[in-house]
A and B are shown apart, each in its own frame.
Chain A
């Protein structure tokens, strides 16, 4: 790629320059003579501090409910009472605010000390320029990849369109499609020739981690490769207003996926309706009421969403009572631009967004009762589809046949990393921590695999299979794994992962003896993954599971 085409990154003051501008230079450090080794170490420290400062600064901003520095200063000028009122309103512990402000001040002080030496600052700026060069390269690369994705999406969308209308493209359309294909091939070619050095690859990877963190913060959802592929497949139809059904095990992320698609790709906050067997007609259509002595009709959230062009997510649609099937079928057949007539008011409501639905996979025992009727299912299949959403990485194995969980690990890595993509593991402890993490994910995977099979085949049947364990109610979902990782990170990785698992999962799942057998089986799985070898039996606190049994599992009796 030629220099002229590279993305431009504007010149802005570096972090130490900004800190020095704010707090001034420390004159006592200005003329300190440093040996070459000391200089190198100081520059390195300054770079690390500047990178980490961003996180500390973010914590302060968050603790003030998103107020910028200028806004915080303005607030402080109003006096202590105003600050206290703000914190009270946000329900934030003032001690935590003090702590985060103290940490940021410490960062600034050390940055000031180091940056006040002109040689150190010069060394830092040289390093920063180099990083900027890498950044330029990386952004150009990402730009090309983004363009390739956009072209691939357009091409797929057009092909789907022809498939839908059931005719072959004419000569003019064929030309357009050929142009798109050529453009796509050109971009592939450019990407294959793009020069990436190890520093650029490192930065690309770190940015990947950061994007995942941002997605998790904003949408509570992380778009991994398999989910991207799924979204790419269903999106063209969803944009046309076709309905979709996501069906899968509990905690497989169906509802979150629907919300994510709605917010990120359709640009609208969805209206989520939790369907139950007790749902009333008024919750779907609306209710009559009185206003100023006149009878009026208040539309339900469901209808209002249709009016506002917001997607509707029907959670657990399979629980919808059959008397509403007709209404649902009618709506599911509408597409963007169609008009649906409200059966009570007769008002024509223009359809502008799709209906997205989720359904839990039910165990064999309850299947008949909760299964979606064929007519409804057919309407989803004729729309954007009825897709099965399973736990991430389900069924994935490496070449040796061992279970692997690459996408789960990608998400969890981003959870335990800081905003620069680093994890606070020392070089010495990293291999051991990594091993712990992989064993943890391995255990969760096994539990998810067996839970899925228990649901599909019935728990008792699963028990009969020698290497499978039955799980009836409890499973460790991705969300649970994320919470465990957050707690591990918060302990500075000082607490052992197995203690965190006990505290964050087993203790929280103690519901007066419910799912005791599931928890017992989970202990077994974790032990098979070399966890809990020395855990005291009473720490599990599982009804019916004797200390003797645990000691036997641990090989101590």
Chain B
């Protein structure tokens, strides 16, 4: 029996052709869910340990936050994040889609030394030698040496909100080389293809990108957004849209661009 050539690449386009049987099974499942015949896991909230099991190294919870940003959560805060606002089914799908589960906090540092977690603050905290990554493969610096955003609100005022987020670890390849508005369509298409309500998909803010990237690097010693950029919907004072990325040995960079600009490295990571 010879080998069918299309089997070499068909895994990359699983939804291109669906047989009638596949479609019927999907429809039947949808109907059954709507009629309540298939139990929705939504109500039953998922425990930390279960989420950890699903995500493995891509679960970035309180321990990771403490190790990287030195933040110890209070009892009250732990109560607020006790419930992970996603179902088991959603988390399992997210893992398959290459997402990570991130706990975000609004401050950096311990107790009285704690400060609002802004990009500028992070840049100060991690100035100097790379203490986050693998000691054998240190980056030259954690933040690329830039000062253009020193007076920008997105870098000096914005902090992440306390809570959980699901973020794709890599950019959507289809979003590369597209302007900001076309990327919106790519995000929408991605959500639809994966059966997620497009309204639930959002872009991260600049500080969220910096936070997630450093947290992942500190925890797993691996760089995300190494050669790419995640474009946000936050505008700098000149009206341009901020993007964060290029986390190579030169450090994380923050740049901005007009929404109609395109670049082969400019892309977007879906997040919820």
On A, residues with C-beta under 8 Å from B are: 192, 195-198, 200-202, 204-206, 208-209, 388, 390, 394-401, 404, 406, 409-410, 412-414, 416-418, 421-427, 430, 433-434, 437, 449, 453, 464-466
Q: B33 at interface (Cβ–Cβ under 8 A)? A: no
* Interface size bracket, B side: 35 or more
Q: How far is the CA of A433 from the CA of B169 in the complex (A)?
A: 31
When the two chains form their complex, are residues B96 and A399 in contact, meaning their CB atoms are under 8 A apart?
Answer: yes
| Shortest Cβ distance from B173 into A: residue | A396
Indicate if the CB atoms of B6 and A205 lie closer than 8 Å: yes
Chain B residues near A390: list those with CB within 8 A.
177, 264
Whole-angstrom distance between the Cβ of B196 and the nearest chain A Cβ: 15
Beta-carbon contacts under 8 Å, B128-182 to A? 137, 169-171, 173, 176-177
Residues 90 to 113 of chain B near chain A (Cβ within 8 Å): 96-98
**A397 to B97 CA separation, bound complex (whole angstroms):** 12
Interface residue SS majority, chain B: loop
- Nearest B residue to A202 by beta-carbon distance? B4
Inter-chain contacts of B21 with A (CB < 8 A): 197
Residues of A within 8 A of B5 (CB): 206, 209, 413-414, 416-417, 421-423
8 smallest CB-CB distances across A and B, nearest first, come from: A399-B98, A417-B5, A406-B12, A422-B2, A205-B6, A396-B173, A413-B8, A413-B5
A410 proximity list for chain B (CB < 8 A): 8-9
Q: Flag if B170 contacts A409 (CB, 8 Å).
A: no
Question: A-B contact count, CB below 8 Å?
Answer: 103
Bound CA span A77–B17, Å: 51
CA distance A370 to B170 in the complex (A): 34
Contact present for A401 and B169 (CB under 8 Å) = yes
Residues of chain A with a CB closer than 8 A to B23's CB: 192
Q: Looking at the assembled complex, report how far the CB atom of A180 sits from the nearest CB atom of chain B, in whole angstroms.
A: 19
Ordered by A's residue number, 14 sampled pairs between the chains whose C-beta atoms are within 8 Å are: A205-B17, A206-B5, A395-B264, A395-B267, A398-B98, A400-B98, A406-B12, A409-B8, A412-B8, A413-B8, A423-B3, A433-B3, A449-B227, A466-B249
Once the chains bind, are B249 and A206 in contact (CB under 8 Å)?
no
- Per-residue contact bits, chain B 7-23, to A (CB 8 Å; 1 contact, 0 not): 01110110001111101
Complex CA gap A528/B23 in Å reads 42
- Would you call B10 and A397 a contact (CB within 8 A)? no
- With A399-B97, A466-B137 as contacts: A437 and B4 at CB distance below 8 Å: no
A205 CA / B10 CA spacing, docked (Å): 9
Known: A192-B23, A209-B5, A427-B1. 13 other contacts (CB 8 A): A204-B17, A205-B4, A206-B6, A390-B264, A395-B171, A395-B228, A397-B170, A399-B96, A401-B169, A406-B13, A410-B9, A423-B3, A465-B249
**B248: interface (CB < 8 Å):** yes
Q: Which residues of A contact B176 (CB under 8 A)?
A: 395
